Amino acid sequence: MNCAALRLWIALLVVATGGAAFAPHGAAQDFFFRRTQLSDEVQFPEAAGPTQAHLDRVDAFLADSQWGEAIQTLQRVTAEHGDQLVPLKTIVDARDDPALPGGSQRWLPLSQRCQEKLASLAFSAPEALALYRSQVDPLAQRLLADGLARRDVETLERVT
């Protein structure tokens, strides 16, 4: 590549990035990681207060070693409200903190939050996880065997 072509590429880089590549670190980071604010007209299925109350009740059941009630509540919340969205509570960096400039709130499906709660039982309440597994493992084993025998992808996907 000759010198003129190299200068052209550098000029294009400066124009394409609005000079952010040569700006101070914070300015370049703001340019590349800028978050967009949602319009007031955007609607999405945010989990309402009663749904959050169910999740709080799960924590209370677990604290009182009421494993059956906790699992039943998680399953009911997943079945009835699993497509609703809840805020991601983990802040990985400044971009995930809505209180900071350029930050925004990320969301995840309530069904995923419930699955995370079930997975965390392995450490916080192994007895509750054992009860849950005794309820769901037989069905999962039947679905797996049936899906493999019929080579049915949809049935196998239900196992996951």
| Cβ-contact 85, 110 below 8 angstroms | yes
Tell me: pLDDT of 117 over 60.
yes
Q: Give the pLDDT of residue 17.
A: 63
Segments in 82-125 forming alpha helices (H): 110-124
The model's pTM: 0.64
Confidence band, pLDDT 50/70/90 cuts, at residue 48: confident
